[in-house]
Amino acid sequence: MIYVTADLHGERSRLRAKEIRKLKKGDTLIVLGDFGFLWHGTPKEKKALNRLGRKKYQLLFLDGAHENFPLLEEYPMETWNGGQVRRLGKNLLYLMRGQVYEMEGKRIFTLGGGESDEKEMRAQQQKWFPEELPTPQQLETARENLERVQWKVDYVLTHDCSQRMKIFLGTEGQGNVLNQFLTELEEKLQYRKWFFGFYHLDKPIPPRHCAVYRSVLPLE
């Protein structure tokens, strides 16, 4: 079974929740951005990542607005289930932007990234990186991968959401290039359900969207 949660921000206690402790070998947990266990590259941190990579279930994650992107990009890239990933451990993988994966007979599109609303504070703390938003090249890669599958997937997994969905949630702001691109996807892509994180909100949004934070939800 494939499950999603979001915005761990490096909180180990989240992975001890009863819903996650029930996961077994062969299950997969996907974190919808702001994974947070990779910040300093210290031996202690690498040891903790190694432990996460030895869990009995697969632990996968998208990038969010709060990641150490230069450090993340130091990990080796490989092709996995039809898309590109970076491997941080045996069962610990980063699902890269704009990829389409085949998992348990399902086609899954992923696109991380988001815009921090605390840039100045995080920059002062050396916890803000301009790579938080996708580049034009990454968005073009997303289009190319979706064209390859004729713009048909089963599930969409993102960190942020479309501008239309932001308005629905009452957080529209000015939006950004990512929100605009996700609006383009909503209009063109055929999909069954769309899960996103970012807003620290657990809220189903009928008919096909779901904001995820602390919930641990099966894709189906």
Q: Where are the domains of the chain?
A: 2-218
Write the DSSP symbol of residue 132: G
Averaged pLDDT, 101-122:
86
Protein fold of 2-218:
Purple Acid Phosphatase; chain A, domain 2 (3.60.21)
Q: Are strands 217-218 and 203-205 parallel, antiparallel or unpaired?
A: unpaired
pLDDT digits (tens, 9 = 90+) for 39-70: 888 999 999 999 999 999 999 999 999 899 99
| Residue 187 confidence class, pLDDT cut points 50, 70, 90 | very high
Q: What is the CA radius of gyration of the chain?
A: 16
Q: How far apart are CA 194 and CA 129, in angstroms?
A: 26
| Residue 143 confidence class, pLDDT cut points 50, 70, 90 | very high
Q: Are 49 and 92 in contact (CB under 8 A)?
A: yes
H or E element in which residue 122 lies: helix 119-124
Instruction: Please check the confidence at residue 75 and state whether its pLDDT lies above 80.
Output: yes
Q: Are 25 and 1 in contact (CB under 8 A)?
A: no
| Tokens of residue 53, six digits | 């990579």
In 96-213, the DSSP E strands lie at: 99-103, 106-111, 155-158, 193-196, 203-205, 209-211
Angle at 122 between CA 120 and CA 17, to 5 degrees: 145
